[in-house]
Amino acid sequence: MFKTRITELLGIQYPIICGTMMHLSRSEFTASISEAGGLGILASANYQDKESFRQAIRNIKARTDRPFAVNLNMFPARKRLDNHLYIDVILEEGVGIVETSGHKAPEEYMARLKEGKVTLIHKCVGVRYARKAEGLGADAVTVVGYENGGATGVLDITTICLVPRVVDNVTVPVIAGGGVCDGRGMAAVLSLGADGVIMGTRFLLAEECPLHPAVKQALASATEMDTMLVMRSVGNTHRVWKNQAAETTARMEERGATLEELFQVISGDQAKKMYFQGDTDAGLLACGQGIGLAGDIKPVREIMADIIEEASKARERLNSMKSS
């Protein structure tokens, strides 16, 4: 129905990739995305030792025989495992797709991944970064516009402007997103020249997402006005859900708080209180401006079917506008 260079490259049914979500993109959730026809991505940074990471990969394989990916996170972190240790497991377990993301190109990992015949997707924020990734040998690039939930980079370019610029400047397939939460958005991104779409915010409301039900219910009534930017003062701008923790972070930044001071609010431990205990104001939650289109809580398979149906209708509408 939507056969693209990305569906062919990755061997997936639909050109839909679920964005990596720290603390949430674990094995069960990842497997549910892949089993429904998209590409689920396991967040390696959720695992602090090789064996727990290995078990997560095996758990995905036990739940689906469809392709999935692993994300290697290159953003600054206080505590992390060396990505080369994750790559050890990736190669040993025969994972076929890796996504890299962060403030730099994945140059130091390319040789090992290429030798292991791993398909590499690099996620970045602009044209020159996409071109560099292609030059290094990335098989595809992912770009997300300013509307995106999570890390937005520093360029502040909207999706509708960013995507065609990247498409015009690389030859590898482009996966694109930023504010995309339904099939109309998917059709729009594909019409801009992308070969696939990446969504994170929409899948926060999936039944299989391990986010606490109280948080999901709050997100279900949110609008496009309910996100904000934080952490720009420390060079790590993120778009997050507008809650008490986000507003506290913004006020602290306005008065010049240091990273150490901010960490009391933005730490992963605070986020986990919200994610898994249901305290909606405890920490930060990456959330895009498309949250107002996310709708209700339902299984991944139904969300995927809705997106494809909406995208098909959007395509039909455009086709109906052909001049006679």
Q: What is the mean pLDDT of residues 59-64?
A: 98
CA atoms within a 13 Å half-sphere pointing along the CA-CB vector of 74: 16
CB of 124 closer than 8 Å to CB of 96: no
What would the two tokens of residue 70 be?
């692993």
| Mean of pLDDT over the chain | 94
pLDDT of residue 105: 86
- Over range 133-140, report the average pLDDT: 96
pLDDT at 106 over 80: yes
More confident residue, 5 or 324: 5
Q: State residue 113's pLDDT score.
A: 96
What is the per-residue pLDDT for 49? 93
For residue 207, how many C-alpha atoms fall within 13 Å in the half-sphere facing its CB?
8
Return the closest-CA partner of residue 211 out of 239, 185, 241, 186.
241
Write out pLDDT tens, residues 250-292.
999 999 999 899 988 998 889 999 999 999 999 999 999 999 9
Can you tell me the mean pLDDT for 209-229? Answer: 96
For 182-198, the pLDDT digits (tens) are: 999 999 999 999 999 99
Distance CA 303, CA 282 (A): 28
Q: pLDDT band at residue 238, thresholds of 50, 70 and 90? A: very high
Q: How confident is the model at residue 174 (pLDDT cuts 50, 70, 90)?
A: very high
The torsion of the CA quartet 299, 12, 199, 114, rounded to 10 degrees, works out to: 140
**pLDDT given for residue 95 in this prediction:** 97
The pLDDT > 90 percentage for the chain reads 86
pLDDT at 153: 80
Rounded to an integer, what distance in angstroms lies between the CA atom of residue 125 and that of residue 146?
Answer: 9
Q: What is the pLDDT of residue 269?
A: 87
Q: Give the pLDDT of residue 224.
A: 95
What structural domains and CATH numbers belong to the chain? 5-206+307-319 (3.20.20.70), 213-277 (no CATH)
The arithmetic mean of pLDDT across residues 90-94, rounded, is 98
Q: What's the whole-model pTM score? A: 0.94
